[in-house]
Amino acid sequence: MSTFALTLILAAAFVHATWNLLNKRASGHATFPWLVAVMSALFYAPVALAAVFYWHASVSIIGVGFMAGSAALHTGYFVLLNEGYRAGDLSLVYPLARGTGPLLSSIAAIVFLGERPSMIAVAGGLMIVGGVIVLTYNPQRLSQVGVRKAMGYALVTGAFIAGYTLWDKQAVSKFAVAPILLDWGSNLGRSLLLTPFALRHWESARKEWQTHRFEVVGVAVLVPLSYILVLTALQFTPVSYVAPAREISILIGTAMGTRLLAEGDVRRRLVAACAMVPGVVALSVG
């Protein structure tokens, strides 16, 4: 993997972990993802327009189709992730979701997209996944109220991560959809898909905005920024390299969960998270 791609992914990892911290702090109503999608579409509309009229990025029928598909997959992802945070700790839900998604997407990329990562890269990916397993496996916690429910949400969230990763990879690399347009179209589509639900729960949406306005704005700004960086890397880097490397955000997210949210089991979680660093190094040289 090139130095530029690794730099993009590491920068995205910090941004990604930060917005997940804000999302967990809110742990809001199911209308929270709708508020985030609406604000993201509004904030990044000028950038999307600049991409079309200034940088001459093209928008084709195929591109619109990819935006719609991405919107559907990301809607499932954000709704499930939000419910997972309502049920469990950031340092449990975040690593499990982020670990499952890249593992599934890497396997699918090898099987369906014909990617052939080097043995060093495969070893690095396995080291990262192993770190995630150690990080999340705790038999004593399985008996706690809500833990299994949170893990269930995290695992299904991981499946959606794999789905949108493969879908969006094809969009930006094979069909040359501009990352900013793909992400903005996805946010716009997600806001439209969730609008009927938000209208039925308008009072909850209003209270959510009043209570968690800071978190809504923060997540709305950081989510597109993080993913545009990843999409840029996916334009010229295989999924089987990008997906595992993104898991470095787990290290950051775990540190945030244990330090800033006072979540327990600090030592084991941090040791397991740090064990993933050599895996990222292996991916970078593989």
Model pLDDT for residues 200-209, shown as the tens digit of each residue: 999 999 999 9
Structure pTM? 0.87
The count of structural domains within the chain is 1
Whole-number pLDDT of residue 95: 77
Q: What is residue 143's predicted lDDT score, i.e. its pLDDT?
A: 62
Determine whether 91 is exposed, middle or buried from the number of CB atoms within 10 Å of its CB (0-12, 13-18, 19+). buried
Residue 285: count of CB within 10 angstroms of its CB: 11
Range of the domain at 65: 3-285
The predicted structure's pLDDT at residue 264: 59
pLDDT at residue 64 greater than cutoff 70: yes
Of 43, 12, 51, 71, the residue nearest 220 (C-alpha): 43
Instruction: Give tens-digit pLDDT for 162-202.
Output: 999 999 999 999 999 999 999 999 999 999 999 999 999 99
> Is 258's pLDDT higher than 90?
no
Q: What is the distance between the alpha carbons of residues 284 and 137, in angstroms, rounded to a whole number?
A: 27
pLDDT at position 68 over 90: yes
Note the pLDDT tens digit of each residue in 88-131: 877 778 778 877 888 888 889 889 888 888 888 888 878 877 77
